[in-house]
Amino acid sequence: MGGAAVAWAVGLSGGAHAADSKEVQMLHWWTSGGEAAALSVIKDYLAKEGYAWKDVPVAGGGGEAAMTTLKAMVAAGNPPTASQILGYFALDYAEAGKLGDVTSLAEKGGWAKVIPTALQKFTTTDGKWDAVPINIHSVNWIWVNKAIMDKIGGTAPKNFDEFVALLDKAKKAGVIPLALGGQPWQEATLFDSVVMSTGGPDFYKKAFIDLDDSALKSDTMKTSFDNLAKLRDYVDPNFAGRDWNLATAMVIKGDALLQVMGDWAKGEFKVANKEPGKDYFCYRFPGTDGTVIYNTDMFAFFNVSADRKAAQNALAEASMNPEVQSAFNVIKGSVPARIDVPDTAFDMCGKKGIADVKAANEKGTFVGSMAQNYAQPPAIGTGAYHDVVTKFFHGEIKTSDRAVAELDKAINAAK
């Protein structure tokens, strides 16, 4: 273990010293089949332009290990050309003065006009572009097994009450209505949609983006918790600790009717050779149509020496190239971060996703996911929010009154 770590460190620094202007060193955690295939779209594009790709993959789903590696590399003064990064981590590095500057490319390419406004909070610092978004995921989706839907005679639910009625139908038919993985982030991700459905976009923004005390402690928030508690009746007894992809597999196999999950779940359906419309449906979480609760994968560009700058610029332009974004996201299952990319190559869920992002951006209903740390920094998102939601869902916090008070308290303590 020790030996391997040393060899790895030596390998890294060796690579950095040997780096010439024709090499892109990229840190990421896209190591699963589909993700790696998506990334190779960018790799191949850069190869055509004459840039070599130096992969620094750090496996581990949510990128925790990768973020720890990145911290070490940056602290050692040896940052990669770019790194896959999420939300507030980019702002942390920007604040610490570790990020480079690709503003000239942004001005030339008119990025400010094609990237959703809300998202630019994470890609720019004081008007300076230091990161680019490669995709947009949204979490307010439900994924429904069509065969079961037909069997129980269900229809697409339009609001939360219809949603509960549908789940009830499945329960009576003897199917697990809601496939859920009982892990804090999954329960919190579900709650994002529940709050949006219960309170609407203005309430969501007031509570989670502005952290307005009166909204956090409001009756609407209390109703949201009550609604979440209703859903607890429709999960199977063994849900605690289950991974999200196993929950998706329950829907694919027909053990469960539906899952509430971000659109990365589509990748699982794809791997299982299931087609949208034929084998499964993708609906917006009932009552959240017209809104997009997003998270996004970004590439952050670090302060690198002058000889590595050309390669960095090439990577930035490649990532923002419309064809690259289209090809990348068709494979990844997300939608392009640029709203001007044509949807011709996408399946019906992708087409709906693209249209929704565009519409939501215009209406101002394109909002960051609290559970995924796009509404607030991790101390509040992963910290306070996950804690309270998971404790409520598992009965450690018993009433919605209490949950509202605890949420407000925890958020204010973490501020």
Partner 1 sequence: MTTAIDPVVAYAVEGPRPGLKDHLRDWIPRLVLAPSFALVLIFVYGFNLWTLLISFTNSKAFANFNFIGWGNYAKLWTWTFETDPPSNWYTALVNMVIFGGLYVIFCLVLGLALAILLDQKIRGEGILRPLYLYPLALSFIVTGTAWKLFLDPRIGLEKAVHDLGWTSFHFDWVVNPRMMIYCVAIAGIWQTSGFVMAMFLAALRGIDGEILKAAQIDGASAYATYRRIIIPMMRPVFMSALIILTHMAIKSYDLVLSVTGKNPGGAAELPSTFMYSYTFTRNQMAVGSASAIIMLMTIAAIMVPYLYSELREKH
- Select 211 or 414, whichever has its Cβ closest to partner 1: 414
Report the first-to-last Cα separation within the chain, whole angstroms: 38
Minimum gap (Å) between residue 406 Cβ and partner 1: 6
Minimum gap (Å) between residue 224 Cβ and partner 1: 18
Residues that bind partner 1 (CB under 8 A): 64, 67-68, 71, 75, 88-89, 92, 96, 181-185, 187, 237-243, 377-379, 382-383, 387, 390-391, 393-397, 402, 406, 414
Q: DSSP states of 93-110 as a string?
A: HHHTT-B---HHHHHHHT
- Select 146 or 394, whichever has its Cβ closest to partner 1: 394
- Select 288 or 382, whichever has its Cβ closest to partner 1: 382
Distance CA 70, CA 104 (A): 26
Minimum gap (Å) between residue 256 Cβ and partner 1: 12
Minimum gap (Å) between residue 387 Cβ and partner 1: 6
- Select 79 or 181, whichever has its Cβ closest to partner 1: 181
- Select 151 or 402, whichever has its Cβ closest to partner 1: 402
- Select 67 or 324, whichever has its Cβ closest to partner 1: 67
In sequence order, the 6+-apart residues with CB closer than 8 A to the CB of 213 are 408, 412
Minimum gap (Å) between residue 244 Cβ and partner 1: 10
Q: Can you say whether the dihedral through the CA atoms of 44, 49, 52, 56 is positive or negative?
A: negative
What count of other Cβ atoms lies within 10 Å of the Cβ of residue 71? 13
Minimum gap (Å) between residue 237 Cβ and partner 1: 7
Minimum gap (Å) between residue 8 Cβ and partner 1: 17
Distance CA 285, CA 194 (A): 8
Contact 136, 294 (CB under 8 A): yes
- Select 338 or 391, whichever has its Cβ closest to partner 1: 391
- Select 251 or 360, whichever has its Cβ closest to partner 1: 251
In sequence order, the 6+-apart residues with CB closer than 8 A to the CB of 343 are 350, 351, 354, 355
In sequence order, the 6+-apart residues with CB closer than 8 A to the CB of 140 are 192, 193, 196, 284, 285, 288, 291, 292, 293
Minimum gap (Å) between residue 67 Cβ and partner 1: 7
Instruction: Pick the closest to residue 141 from 86, 202, 192, 203 (CA basis).
Output: 192
Q: DSSP states of 32-101 as a string?
A: SHHHHHHHHHHHHHHHHTT-EEEEEE---TTSHHHHHHHHHHHHTT---SEEEEEHHHHHHHHHTT-B--
